[in-house]
Structure 1
């Protein structure tokens, strides 16, 4: 509970950090949805949305990839909307953004206070970057048609839960390091 309070306090008193975490979440989530094929081009312009298939919310296309329940056209974009895929994408993006913001905040605090903890440099955000890239990197390779993509395609279903666990562990570590530097 103290970790959550420390996390919230460090972000609440720093609106720029909160905005950066949200911005990273939106960009990462959009990229994730684009690479998985839920978001794409080809829209006819204007705004149009239909949601005819809410009963398919929990139908899985594959591991951690669910069927869309609706279609949203916004200008040139077409989004086959799946609430579960969207939550996964933006949840991973929010974890990644929060990790990066906390690493940056810890770096600033340690520099201002003259306090240097082991791993408090930006290298402590390396697990977050690797875990955040674990989901999209294989998809980028597949999208580019590189031969290495075939080998990574079989690992892709394991990368989303692995990335989530690594991002959570990194978040706990950074929050504890930040708590020890503030208090």
Structure 2
């Protein structure tokens, strides 16, 4: 299999630029990065496909091409189109609401950035004491609340299942249940 070094370099550059663009705060750059990643994925599948051959029909002779990378490429194109349509709608709505497509920091982001290592240690130690005492997920219950009952434990429950005697072909009819025997 002969792989072009040019395709590999172009694919690597597309992946690097796509990842770099997706790390930006601007939604337009995120869209451009996602499109670059989609094209890099299509190039990767083209490289993996190998040497082109004949269509894989019954009765063809010679080397046949593998249809799986072609199907994966079509799937990657559809997924890239759907996600980029969603991102375009998101960018349009963001522009309508705020006249900008930049994602801003909210209060939770700022609080997370200002948290120190001491705060992290305090948050980690809060749940340790309760975990040692807990034996079950049920509050004030020492055992599981599910109890398996047997029919023999309750005389008030009438068993209307057929008799346990196996049916044999010499019998004229299948065995009757307890209700049918009581009616006769």
Greater relative contact order (CA < 8 Å, ≥ 6 in sequence): 1
TM bucket, shorter chain: under 0.3
The TM-score, its normalising length taken from structure 2, stands at 0.28
Please state which structure has a larger fraction of its residues in helix: 1
The TM-score, its normalising length taken from structure 1, stands at 0.28
Structure 1 or 2, whichever has the larger Rg, is 2
Please state which structure has a larger fraction of its residues in strand: 1
